[in-house]
Amino acid sequence: MAIDFGERIGQWMSGAGRDSDVVISSRVRLARNIAGHRFMSRASLEERRELAAKLHQAVLAAHVAPSVRYADLEALPEVDRAMLAERHLISREHAEAEGPRGVAFSEEETVSVMVNEEDHLRMQVLHGGLDLENTWSEMQGVDRAIEREVPYAFDSQFGYLTACPTNVGTGLRVSVMLHLPALAMTRELQRVFNAAAKIDFIVRGLYGEGTQGHGDFFQISNQKSLGRSEREIIGSLEVVIPQIIRYERRVRDGLIGEHRRQVEDRVWRAQGILLSARVISSEEALHLLSQLRLGINIGIIKEYDIPLVHRLFMLSRPAHLQKLEGAELDALARDAARADFLRRSLTAPRGKA
Amino acid sequence: MAIDFGERIGQWMSGAGRDSDVVISSRVRLARNIAGHRFMSRASLEERRELAAKLHQAVLAAHVAPSVRYADLEALPEVDRAMLAERHLISREHAEAEGPRGVAFSEEETVSVMVNEEDHLRMQVLHGGLDLENTWSEMQGVDRAIEREVPYAFDSQFGYLTACPTNVGTGLRVSVMLHLPALAMTRELQRVFNAAAKIDFIVRGLYGEGTQGHGDFFQISNQKSLGRSEREIIGSLEVVIPQIIRYERRVRDGLIGEHRRQVEDRVWRAQGILLSARVISSEEALHLLSQLRLGINIGIIKEYDIPLVHRLFMLSRPAHLQKLEGAELDALARDAARADFLRRSLTAPRGKA
C-alpha cells in the first residue's frame, strides 16, 4: 500500500484566505478518548488493534467530509508516513510510532482524524489564512459526527479525559501558523513571543514542539486546555493574532521604506540561489522560499506567485521529494535532487503556478 | 591633479602568462637608497623634498620603460592614491603616508618605482603568470638604468643598505601571487604555508602584510634578503611554486572527479549571487569572483572568461569603484554600487571581455 498525492497540496497551503500575506493557516485540534477503553499507553497490543479497527469504521461511518480516505499507518511505507506528516495530516510522532494506528483525511486535506495517536482520537481541521471561526465550527461538526458513532471518555468535573494532563478539559489546541520574515529580520520576534506568553500561548516552529522557526514560520498555540472554555481560548487568539499581523506588516513597510536596498538584496539573493544552487538542504530551502514569499508579498518579485511558492515548500520536503523522484535517497542525494527540483520549477516555464 | 585609468587594468592582471590557471602574477621588488642622504625616517622635510625632486628627475631620465608617467602623491587626491595601491603600483603605506613622495610607472603598469617610500626608492617589475626569470631580468635593467642617474648606498660587507634590516643585502623581495581555491576549499593550505616556511618564504594575503587571503588569493615571498644571492632567492621560488601549482591542480581534479556536485554548487551559487545581489562588500566580491574564476578554469562556466573576471576584481575595489562612479561613496553606498556594477557587467552584454 502506498499513497500518491502527485504535485497536489492541501487546501490549507493554497495561499488563499484572509490575511494570507502573514497567516499561512488556522488549525483546531481536539483530543478524544473512547469510554470503556484504556489510554494508549496502558492498552495491550490486542486492545489497540481492536480500537484501531473500531475507530477506522467509526470515523468512516461519521462522514466527516464528502470524501474521506483512511490510511492504515501500520501497513504504509515509512516515506509515505513521513509525507503525511509533512502535509500536517498526522503528527511526526504518529508517523514514527509502531503498532495499529491510522488516519482518516478529507480529499481537500482540511479534515484529518488520527486513530491511536497519544489519544485514541486526535482530530483536526486546518484552513488557509486566518479563519478560526469557521475552522472551529467545522471542528465541532466533525466532533459531533464522530461522537454519534463512539462514546467519548468524559468527566463532569475535568471535561474530556486525555492521556496527557495538558490536554484534559476541552482537549482543544488552536494554532495559527504565521510567516514573520520582517520581524525575524529585525530581531523583534521576542516581543511576539512575550505577547503570546502573556495569554498562555506558546510559539513553536513549523513542525511543532522542539523545532525552530525555520524559514521564519511560527505556530502560535494555546498551552492549556483546562480551565478555559473553547470560546475563551479561540477568543484570545482572535485578539492577539491581528496585533501580530499588524506588527509584521508595519515592520515590512518600514523595511521597504527605509531599507529597501537591503530587503531587495535578501530577496534577490534568495531567488538567485534558488535558480543556481546544485545542493540545497531542507532547512535552506525553507529559508530561501521564505525570502521569496516575502518578496512576492511586498511586490519586489512579480514573476512568481504565492501558490507556486507554497507548492515548492511542500514538494521540496524530504519525503515529498523522494516520492516525486520515486526513490529512496540519502541526505546528500536529497539535497542535490531538491536543488534540481527547485531550479527546474522556478526556471521553466518560469511562470506562476 | 587626478589619474584616470577608465576601465583599463594593468598587463599583469590580463590573465595571460604561464600557469595562469593558478598563478596570477610574478613580482620582483628592489629597495634602494641614495648615497649621501639620510634614510627617510631620519631625513628632514626639506631633505625629503629635495630627494623627491631629484629622484623624480632621475627616474624619468633613466627611461626605464617606453612610456613612463610620474605621479606626485602629495598632490594626488586620496581616492587616486588608493586606486594606485589597488593596482599594486604603490604600497598601501605609500598611499596613506604624508609629505613629498611619488611614483613612476610604465603605461602597461609592469614597472613602477616608488620615490620616498620606506626607502628612497622601491622599484618593482610585475608580470602576469609565472615568469620570474624575465621579471627579474627586466628588474635588473631598471635597477642599472636608475643607478646610472643616482649613486646607491652600498656597503661592501652588507650589500645594499636599507631602512629596515629585513631588506638589507640584496634589497630584493620576490613574490608570486597564487589563486588557490581548491586548496582553500579542502583546508590543505597549511601544507603550502609549511612548505614555504621551510625555504624561508612567507605566505600573505592579496594586499600584503596583515591582510588575509581574501578570495583564496595568496602571495608567497621571501622573508630574508641578506645572506643569499638574488639567484638563490629566485631559484628556490622556482622550485617551490611549481610544486604548489601541481598540488592545487591535483586537488582541483580530485574535486571535479569526486565532488563535482559540490564544486558546481559553489561556482553556480557565486554566479547566481553576483547576478542577483543588491549589496556586495569588497571582501565578498573577491570571494565570489574567486569562485567564478575557479569555475572558468575547471570548465564549469563557459559564459565568461578570465580577463573579464580580472577586470571585475580590479574595478570593484573601493577606490576604483568610486572613480568609476565619479563620486565619493560611504561603505554602504559602495556596497550597493558594487553589486550594481558587478550585476551589470555580468548580465549585459553577458559576454566575454
pLDDT in tens, B113-161: 999 999 999 999 999 999 999 999 999 999 999 999 999 999 998 889 9
Average pLDDT over residues A301-329: 95
pLDDT confidence tier of residue A197, bands split at 50, 70 and 90: confident
Q: Are A24 and A128 in contact (CB under 8 A)?
A: yes
Residues A47-66: pLDDT tens digits? 999 999 999 999 999 999 99
Q: A138-148: buried (b, 16+ CB within 10 Å) or exposed (e) per residue?
A: bbeebbebbee
Cell numbers found for residue A297: 508579498
pLDDT score of A208: 56
Rounded Cα–Cα distance for residues B66 and B104 (Å):
12
Identity of the residue in B265, B273, B339 whose CB atom sits nearest the CB atom of A278: B265
State the ipTM, two decimals: 0.88
A-B contacts (CB, under 8 Å): 47
Residues A124-148: pLDDT tens digits? 999 999 999 999 999 999 999 999 9
Taking CA atoms, B48 is separated from B41, B81, B103, B152, B154, in Å, by 10, 19, 14, 16, 20
Test A276 with B272 for CB contact under 8 angstroms. Answer: yes
Q: Which residues of B touch A (CB under 8 A)?
A: 261-262, 264-265, 268-269, 271-273, 275-279, 336, 339
Distance of alpha carbon B9 from the chain centroid: 12
Q: Which of A256, A258, A260, A261 to mutate to test the interface with B (most CBs of B within 10 A)?
A: A261
Between A176 and A205, the more confident residue is A176
Cell numbers found for residue A34: 473512547
Rounded Cα–Cα distance for residues B268 and B288 (Å):
10
Quick one: DSSP state of residue A13?
A: G
Test A278 with B268 for CB contact under 8 angstroms. Answer: yes
pLDDT score of A192: 82
pLDDT score of B213: 58
Residue stretches of chain B with pLDDT short of 50: 210, 351, 353
Ordered DSSP codes for A296-344 = HHTTS--SS-HHHHHHHHHHTSHHHHHHHHTS---HHHHHHHHHHHHHH
pLDDT confidence tier of residue A167, bands split at 50, 70 and 90: confident
pLDDT score of A199: 79
* Res. A213: pLDDT tops 90: no
Residues A92-105: pLDDT tens digits? 999 999 999 999 99
Q: Are A33 and A120 in contact (CB under 8 A)?
A: yes
**Angle between helix A331-347 and A318-325 (nearest 10):** 80
Rounded Cα–Cα distance for residues A327 and A235 (Å):
46
Taking CA atoms, A320 is separated from A71, A177, A231, A326, in Å, by 17, 21, 36, 10
pLDDT score of A348: 63
Percent of chain A with pLDDT over 90: 77
Residues A258-310: pLDDT tens digits? 999 999 999 999 999 999 999 999 999 999 999 999 999 999 999 999 999 99
Report which residue type is found at A353. Answer: A
Rounded Cα–Cα distance for residues B322 and B344 (Å):
16
Test B272 with A275 for CB contact under 8 angstroms. Answer: yes
Q: Are B178 and B23 in contact (CB under 8 A)?
A: yes
Residues A235-270: pLDDT tens digits? 988 988 999 999 999 999 999 999 999 999 999 999
Q: Identify the H or E element spanning A135.
A: helix A132-147
What is the distance in angstroms between the Cα of B303 and the nearest Cα belonging to chain A? 14
Mean pLDDT of chain A: 92
pLDDT score of A186: 85
pLDDT score of B353: 45
pLDDT score of B349: 53
Identity of the residue in B272, B277, B339 whose CB atom sits nearest the CB atom of A277: B272
Going by C-alpha positions, the residue among B337, B321, B213 that lies closest to residue B280 is B337
Q: Are A309 and A296 in contact (CB under 8 A)?
A: yes
* Residues 6+ away with beta carbon under 8 Å from B327: none
CB atoms within 10 A of CB B329: 16
pLDDT score of A189: 85
Report which residue type is found at A164. Answer: C
β-strand pairing of A102-106 with A68-72: antiparallel
Which chain B residue shows the shortest CA-CA distance from A272?
B272
Going by C-alpha positions, the residue among B176, B201, B76 that lies closest to residue B125 is B176
pLDDT score of A353: 45
Average pLDDT over residues A317-336: 95
Distance of alpha carbon B277 from the chain centroid: 27
What is the distance in angstroms between the Cα of A113 and the nearest Cα belonging to chain B? 42
Rounded Cα–Cα distance for residues A172 and A112 (Å):
15
pLDDT score of B96: 96
State the residue for C-alpha cell 605621479.
B71
Q: Are B297 and B260 in contact (CB under 8 A)?
A: no
Peptide linkage before B151 cis (omega within 30 of 0): no
* Res. A350: pLDDT tops 70: no
Q: Which residues of chain A lie closer than 8 angstroms to B258, CB-CB?
A: none
- Please work out, in degrees rounded to the nearest 5, the angle formed at the alpha carbon of residue B174 by the alpha carbons of B173 and B177: 125
Domain with CATH 3.30.590.10 in chain B: 11-251
Pick the CATH number of A11-251 from 1.10.30.50, 3.30.590.10, 1.10.260.40, 3.40.50.970: 3.30.590.10
Test A264 with B278 for CB contact under 8 angstroms. Answer: yes
A269 φ/ψ angles, rounded to the nearest 5 degrees = -60, -45
Q: Are A158 and A164 in contact (CB under 8 A)?
A: no
User: What HEC string does chain B produce?
Assistant: CCCCCCCCCCHHHCCCCCCCCCEEEEEEEEEECECCCCCCCCCCHHHHHHHHHHHHHHHHHCCCCCCEEEEEHHHCCHHHHHHHHHCCCCCHHHHHCCCCCEEEEECCCCEEEEECCCCCEEEEEEEECCCHHHHHHHHHHHHHHHHCCCCECEECCCEECCCCHHHCECCEEEEEEEECHHHHHCCCHHHHHHHHHHCCEEEEECCECCCCCHHHEEEEEECCCCCCCHHHHHHHHHHHHHHHHHHHHHHHHHHHHHCHHHHHHHHHHHHHHHCCCCCCCHHHHHHHHHHHHHHHHCCCCCCCCHHHHHHHHHHCCHHHHHHHHCCCCCHHHHHHHHHHHHHHHHHCCCCCC
Cell numbers found for residue B286: 573577491
Identity of the residue in B262, B277, B336 whose CB atom sits nearest the CB atom of A269: B277
State the residue for C-alpha cell 522542539.
A210
